[in-house]
Amino acid sequence: MSQTQFSSMPPLSLNYSAAAGRADEVFNEDGIAKPHWQQLLKSLQTMGSGTLAERHDKASRILRDDGATYNIYGDTKNPSRTWGLDLVPAVIGSEEWGVIESGLLERAELLNAFLKDIYGPRELVRRGVIPPEAIFAHGGFLRACHGIQTGGEHELILHAVDMVRTEDGSMCVLTDRTQAPSGMGYALENRTVMSRVLPSLFRDSHAHRLAPFFQRLRTKLASLSSAHDQPRVVVLTPGAHNETYFEHAYLANYLGFQLVQSGDLVVRNGFVWMKSLDGLSRVDVILRRVDDWYCDPVELRSDSQLGVPHLLEAVRAGRVIIANPLGAGILENPVFLKFMPAIAKALLGREPRLASVATYWCGQEDDMAYVLSHLNELVIKPTLRSNGLSSVHAANLSEAKRKELIARIKAHPWQYVAQSRLVASHLPTFVGGNLQPRPSILRSFAVASDTSYAIMPGGLTRVGTDEGAFLISGQVGAQSKDTWVISSEPEVSPVDGAGADAPIVPNEAQLISLPSRVVENLFWMGRYAERAEATLRILRTAFILLNGEDPVSESSRRYLLAAVTEITGTLPGFKNCSPELLANPEAELLRLAKDPNMFGSVHYNLTAMLRSADESKELLSSDTMRVINDIRDALDNLETNLSGDDGSAPEEALDPLVTALMALAGLTHESMVRGIGWHFIEIGRRTERGVQTLKILEGLLIDVLPEHDQNTLLEALLLSVETLISYRRRYRARMSVRQVLEVSMLDATNPRSVRFQFDRLKKYINALPRVKSTNAELSTEEKSILEADTRIRLTDLSLLCERDSSDKTRPQLKTMLGQLQKSLADISTIVSDKYFDHKAGPQQLVRRNWED
């Protein structure tokens, strides 16, 4: 195609012309923009570059606030990136889509029949349609899954296809995704964001809605179980570190299913159960996002940490249904692309409508000879997809690497295919303030429905980073696009009229019980947030006092800094430290704020808090996610802000974090339903706050000091427990140990006092679900709380302030603080023993080496 100018428009700021010599989605063969593209580009031009850039920022903000991330493997410092969305949609006319859709339906049906054959009679091997090695030499063929079939119409529930439009204008399949296809959640998120940032553009386009597809997915999953009327469906994720974890949580929420990890599931008496607060609940259907090979350490990969022992046995007995079924990964073998026409002929009696990319299998002599003589024109791919191996463009290799590749192929010819390098057709993409052509790839999705499949209208489009690029993958920073299938008339929408993509109402019964892992993470989220806050406050106090205009005596300095060490749990730190360190504590204090590897630092505690939040993401509101993201950003900027380059004092640099943590606490309080999850966050928070306050009191008040020093420490104490102002209002400027103890320990109206924490703990723990005992005996945690609560209420302040005979310490205070700390530790242990799952990991009876 020659250089084409989009000519019907006056030259405004946004122009688009196709790249020389590249196929382009916008233009037809004569170089004229297709009608639906004309309309879209016109609207974009009217909007102009500035507005589009501003909408783009808004989209990025929404994506960030929704927590839409894509984790990059191997980037440990900053593992999650915000999902990239380009605002120029990929547009497909509905007539054209009809052709693609029928090809996709046929392909899903074909692969379903093929899957049934592979784990059943294997007629295609017996009849010589495919060479035995195509199945037997592939790691995705799980012999343990032989003979397991549900017997229904569909074995293959979900099917995704990556395809590109080639030079001749036809669609060409690059890969089938049948293992645990990802991307549909991102497609939905893209759509949601587009309808928010470009509402009128979207409305006028009459793009087909996505919600009906997800409705079908939900119906299909629920119908897989014949066990009861209300089957429990769960989404199984490998965990927060998986590259597409955002999507797992997002889909689970949207569909109204519980998100679980393998540790939340257990097989008992041949059934699968979810371990939850109210005991075990039966699981009937699992939508899995864990690769099949890792799902059962008894029969499949024995070194897997992501498996549920005997899961396969429960499947075999028909007691749980997994979608896609274990073993479905075999269909991703690219060797089948070569044989697809023959497979289709054998199973459907005709050639497939959708072509696949030309594929050569090194396991066959002729193909091997071709591959070796045309290496530079080909992409070499391992037949089994895994993290360690990826596609290689032989043309880009050095001579040494090339030889290495050839040797590898020759050593294991079955395990490599080669494919022609395709340059995909290009799409206009908003780059650098203008529209630039970028190569595009479309992932489409099919879900089993009735007697066939339903195809998502459109899918997930991704564009390459450079014009003419060969490789497009989320792992190398590609952008995505919403995909619009445009009808000539508005779509007839169902009567309910719910918005563009209204979420499906979740089934109440499904969401009542939470996995123990989730509540444990909420508990720790509360504790770490509070611990980080206490650390921030004491550091801030230390900076303010040490840099203040009143000089601080050496003795007060020593006590204050030692308390910092105690509170952060970073011994030896300032405890019995050298006079040099005491005189110049700044570097160590900064390290306590920003060092991510130092146990007890602000950075460390916040990272732990964020990790816990990620694990229970699906329970947090979008406002909460926004605050969490603010904390993440503030943490990323901590190093810079603390460098003092802008002349600000360190305590000021800490302020944004304190504010963000306060906002988090406020949101938890104001906008979270008082369910089990909320109670666990609060129990964590109250426990930690109690511990921290007791530690400060212990560090600063037990030893008796001269009045001036004592006053400095009292002020520090009040400052760091945020009570200085109310104290001053009540008692004016007079500092006394007795009154400080009254305010910080006994005052039931002070939300930072020790008493307040016990009051709350008592209330929250009483609200937790428990097995009702028949007698009137209190539970152990209730007893611990009652004991501590009574101890505080019976406190005699004069007694606490009494000094020992040598007039050096306050022994009664010391005993009291110790007892209260022990009560809190006991409560924490009892709660975690009772409600969290502490089963040790399994061990293999027979251990052997895994070579692959």
Stretch that binds other proteins, among 235-243, 345-353, 444-452, 838-846 (CB under 8 A): 838-846
User: Residue 147 or residue 647: which is nearer to other proteins going by CB?
Assistant: 147
587's CB contacts (< 8 A; 6+ apart) are none
Collect all residues with Cβ–Cβ distance below 8 Å to 581 and sequence separation of at least 6: 574, 588
Nearer to other proteins, 163 or 320 (CB): 320
User: How does DSSP assign 129-179, residue by residue?
Assistant: SS-HHHHHT-TT--GGGTT----SS-S--EEEEEEEE-TTS-EEEEEEE-S
Interaction mask 146-185, other proteins, x per CB under 8 A:
xx--------------------------------------
Distance between terminal CA atoms of the chain? 46
Taking CB under 8 A as the criterion, which residues in 106-145 touch other proteins? 125-126, 128, 132-133, 136-137, 143-144
Q: At what angle do helices 676-701 and 516-547 cross, to 10 degrees?
A: 30
Query: Which of 447, 456, 572 is closest to 109 using CA atoms?
Result: 447
Q: Which segment (460-468, 639-647, 770-778, 834-842) binds other proteins by CB under 8 A?
A: 834-842
Torsion, Cα of 469, 472, 474, 477 (10° steps): 0
Among 299, 530, 566, 618, binds other proteins (CB under 8 A): 299
- CA dist list (Å): 166 to 22, 46, 251, 272, 348: 10, 31, 32, 46, 26
Residue (132 or 751) nearer to other proteins, CB: 132
CB of 328 to other proteins, least distance (A): 17
Asked if residue 837 binds other proteins (CB under 8 A), the reply is no
Residue linked to tokens 């602000």: 602
CB-wise, 370 or 414, nearer to other proteins?
Answer: 414
Q: Taking CB under 8 A as the rule, which mask of x and - marks residues 230-269 in contact with other proteins?
A: -------------------------------------xxx
Q: Which is nearer to other proteins, 729 or 848 (CB)?
A: 848
Distances (CA, A) of 170 to 92, 103, 164, 174, 357: 13, 11, 8, 13, 11
- In the range 385-424, which residues lie near other proteins by CB under 8 A? 412, 414
Q: Nearest distance from residue 712's CB to other proteins, in Å? A: 54
CB of 406 to other proteins, least distance (A): 16
> Binding other proteins by CB under 8 A: which of 310, 338, 537, 755?
310
Residue 228 CB, shortest distance to other proteins, in Å, is 20
Q: For residue 120, give the nearest of 330, 349, 340 by alpha carbon.
A: 330
Determine which residue in the list 317, 571, 725, 825 makes contact with other proteins, applying CB under 8 A.
317
Mark the segment that binds other proteins (CB under 8 A) among 238-246, 284-292, 305-313, 652-660: 305-313
Give the closest residue to 304 by CA, choosing from 460, 436, 142, 455: 142
Among 670, 777, 807, 851, which residue interacts with other proteins (rule: CB under 8 A)? Answer: 851
d(CA 295, CA 311): 7
Reading the block at residue 109, the tokens are 């049906």
How far apart (Å, rounded) are the C-alpha atoms in residues 401 and 398?
A: 5
Residue 346 CB, shortest distance to other proteins, in Å, is 15
Residue from 77, 228, 772, 839 touching other proteins (CB under 8 A): that is: 839
Half-sphere exposure of 239 (CA within 13 A, CB side): 11
The stretch among 527-535, 665-673, 707-715, 833-841 that binds other proteins (CB under 8 A) is: 833-841
Torsion sign (Cα): 359, 361, 367, 371:
positive
Does residue number 842 form part of the binding site for other proteins (CB under 8 A)? yes
Spatial contact of 490 and 651, defined as CB atoms under 8 Å apart: no
- The piece of 190-198, 492-500, 547-555, 841-849 that touches other proteins (CB under 8 A) is 841-849
Query: Cα 114–117–121 angle (5° rounding)?
Result: 165
Min separation Cβ 323 and other proteins, Å: 22
845 binds other proteins (CB under 8 A): yes
Q: How far is the CB of 350 from other proteins (least distance, A)?
A: 24
**Is residue 843 a contact point for other proteins (CB under 8 A)?**
yes
Look up residue 730 and give its amino acid: R
Nearer to other proteins, 368 or 609 (CB): 368
Question: What would you measure as the largest C-alpha separation in the chain, in angstroms?
Answer: 102
- Cβ closer to other proteins: 229 or 851? 851
**CB count, 10 Å around CB of 61?**
15
Cβ proximity to other proteins, 137 vs 740, nearer residue: 137
- Counting residues that bind other proteins (by CB under 8 A) gives 40
How does DSSP assign 636-658, residue by residue? HHHHHHHT-TTS--HHHHHHHHH
CB atoms within 10 A of CB 749: 9
Report residue 795 CA to chain centroid gap. 47
The least CB distance from residue 768 to other proteins, in Å, is 25
For other proteins, give the closer residue by CB, 133 or 782.
Answer: 133
454 beta partners: 447
- Please, which residue, 495 or 846, has the CB nearer to other proteins? 846
Q: Which of 256, 309, 503, 811 binds other proteins (CB under 8 A)?
A: 309
Length of the chain: 852
Residues 528-547 contacting other proteins, CB under 8 A: none
Contact 450, 219 (CB under 8 A): no
For the CB of residue 151, give the shortest distance to other proteins in the complex, in Å: 16
Could you tell me the smallest distance in angstroms from the CB atom of residue 262 to other proteins?
A: 12
| Nearest of 158, 219, 223, 148 to residue 184 by alpha carbon | 158
Q: How far is the CB of 366 from other proteins (least distance, A)?
A: 13
CB of 310 to other proteins, least distance (A): 4
Q: Which is nearer to other proteins, 336 or 445 (CB)?
A: 336
CB of 271 to other proteins, least distance (A): 9
Report the residue number, 34 or 316, with the smaller CB distance to other proteins. 316
| Cβ at position 146, least distance to other proteins in Å | 4
Nearest to other proteins of 268, 803 (CB atom):
268
- 496 contacts other proteins (rule: CB under 8 A): no
What's the min distance (Å) between Cβ of 412 and other proteins?
Answer: 8
Binding test (CB under 8 A) with other proteins, winner from 140, 238, 297, 334 = 297
In the block, residue with structure tokens 């400060």 = 696
> Least distance in Å: CB of 523 to other proteins?
24
363 touches 403 (CB < 8 A): no
Check binding of 280 to other proteins (CB under 8 A): no
Task: Report how far residue 437's alpha carbon sits from residue 463's, in angstroms, rounded to the nearest whole number.
Answer: 9
Handedness of CA 52, 55, 59, 65 (dihedral sign): positive
DSSP sequence for 26-82: SB-TTSPBPHHHHHHHHHHHHHHHHHHHHHHHHHHHHHHHTT-EEEPTT--SS-EEE
Is the Cβ–Cβ distance between 101 and 658 less than 8 Å? no
Minimum Å gap between C-beta 695 and other proteins is: 36
In the complex, what is the shortest distance from the CB of residue 558 to other proteins, in angstroms, rounded to a whole number? 47
Helix 676-701, helix 650-671: angle, nearest 10:
140
Interface ranges with other proteins (CB under 8 A) = 125-126, 128, 132-133, 136-137, 143-144, 146-147, 267-270, 297-299, 302, 309-310, 313, 316-317, 412, 414, 839-852
